[in-house]
Amino acid sequence: MKIAVLGAGAIGAYVGASLCRAGAEVHLIARGPHLAALRRDGVRVLSPRGDFSARPYATDDPREVGPVDHVFLGLKAHAYAAAGELVRPLLHARTTIIAAQNGIPWWYFHGLPGPYRDYRIESVDPGGAVTSALPLHRAVGCVVYAATEIESPGVVRHLEGTRLSIGEPDGRVSGRCTEFADAMVAGGLKCPVEPDLRADIWIKLMGNISFNPISALCRATMAGICRHDGTRALVATMMAETLDVAARLGCRPEISIERRLAGAERAGEHKTSTLQDLERGRPMELDVLLTAVVELADLTGAEAPTLRTVAAIADLLNRQLGPQNA
């Protein structure tokens, strides 16, 4: 099996190293000092489950890789629309694109029965640019529950969790999903193929939609947000509004808000990826986390007043980071 990891950052390099350890032919597509280290030394994973190293191929040019069976997409979602030129050299007739993203994916309504079937979410897929770059028939969803970070170029620190749930937009347990999941398990990861991945999407989103923007606005860790009575209540309200939107779309995740809060508090003094992006002056990944749910609230008639307020404030902050976010 031949797999390309496009965007071999913290999660991408960790997944690529694990798949390489399982015997798959893995190609990491990266850039900068990280790429130089990958070429020189391979990937070194530091983990409480045991450190390991792997030496997958590494390049900055997908044309050197050629067609693969699976593309594991480790890019931030706001980079998807411009990813077409990078993805095209990796495709053959049956290549799968497995998108490891937070938030609402561009394929969310693809083939979904009901009144919103095949609806395109403008904030996620502006003008259909993402669908053009990442064709819907190739899409497989992926919800990441593992936490990793780049400790130094070529070195990934695995903090916790090994589960990456995947699933087809139409709910089938397909051969292409099973093939990829088996390779992930052989590499030491958990990779259940979920018939209803959308429930996982909303469970993960409950945390991302609230903690991520608040952490950036307050420069606070997840535990810090939970310890403060006011922000804890704000998070709970945002989660409740998110679940209301999900229910209006026919999805009712079986998890309580208090349980979700408790899990976040256990994460300790963890900085969300949004706060880390802010601190580095990078665009914050807000469209798929927050703006999309506000759009879905408009679609379904949900009020979601707190989500709308936080979205407006966070969007202004994002625009102030630079003209690329305007």
Residue 125 phi, psi dihedral angles, 5° rounding? -130, 70
| DSSP E strand stretches across the chain | 2-6, 25-29, 43-46, 52-54, 57-59, 70-73, 96-100, 139-144, 147-152, 155-160, 164-167
Rg of the chain over Cα atoms, rounded to whole angstroms, equals 19
Residue 258 phi, psi dihedral angles, 5° rounding? -65, -40
Question: How far apart (Å, rounded) are the C-alpha atoms in residues 205 and 101?
Answer: 11
Count CB neighbours of 175 within 10 A. 9
Sheet containing 52-54: give its strands across: 52-54, 43-46, 155-160, 147-152
Residue 219 CA, chain-centre distance (Å), reads: 22
**Beta 52-54 vs 57-59: how paired, if at all?**
unpaired
Catalytic residue among 2, 76, 190, 204: 204
Question: Does the active-site annotation cover 190?
Answer: no
Catalytic sites, residue numbers: 204
